[in-house]
Amino acid sequence: MYAIISIVSFLILWAIGVHYSEIKIVMPGPWEVIKEFVDSFINPVGRHTMPLHILYSLMRVVPAYLVGSVFGIVLGILMGWFRPVNSIFRPIYELIRPIPPIAWIPISIVWFGIGEGSKWFLIFLAAFVPVTLNSISGAKSVDPLLIKCGQMLGASKKYIFKSIVLPFSVPYIFSGLQVGLAGSWATVVAAEMIRSTEGVGWIIISSMDTNDVTQSLVGIMGIGIVGFLLATIMRKVEDKLCAWTRREV
Partner 1 sequence: MRMDKKGSVDTVIECRHISKEFTSKRGTAKVLEDISLQVRKNEFVVLFGPGQCGKTTLMNVLSGLDGATKGTVYSHGQEVTGPGSERGVVFQSMALFPWLTVRGNVAYGPKARGFDKDAYTKKSDYYIDLVGLKGFENAYINQLSGGMKQRVGIARAYCNEPDVLFMDEPFSALDAQTRYLMQEEIMRIWSTEKRTVVFITNNIEEAVYVADRIILLTNCPARIKKEYPIDLPRPRDYTSKEFLLLRDEISKNMDRTL
Residues that bind partner 1 (CB under 8 A): 143, 145-146, 148-156, 159, 163-164, 167-168, 170, 243-248
Contact 194, 105 (CB under 8 A): yes
Q: Where are the beta strands (DSSP E) in the chain?
A: none
Minimal distance, residue 148 CB to partner 1, in Å: 6
Minimal distance, residue 75 CB to partner 1, in Å: 22
Q: Report, in this order, helix, strand and coil percent for the chain, each rounded to 5.
A: 80, 0, 20
Name beta bridge partners: 48. Answer: 45
Minimal distance, residue 137 CB to partner 1, in Å: 17
**Residue 205 to residue 247: CA distance in whole angstroms:** 46
Contact 133, 100 (CB under 8 A): no
CB atoms within 10 A of CB 175: 17
The nearer residue to partner 1, 88 or 146, going by C-beta atoms, is 146
**Residue 245 to residue 249: CA distance in whole angstroms:** 13
The nearer residue to partner 1, 164 or 218, going by C-beta atoms, is 164
The nearer residue to partner 1, 25 or 145, going by C-beta atoms, is 145
Minimal distance, residue 200 CB to partner 1, in Å: 38
Of 48, 101, 104, 105, the C-alpha closest to 219 is 48
The nearer residue to partner 1, 84 or 144, going by C-beta atoms, is 144
Minimal distance, residue 64 CB to partner 1, in Å: 30
The nearer residue to partner 1, 42 or 152, going by C-beta atoms, is 152
Contact 176, 135 (CB under 8 A): yes
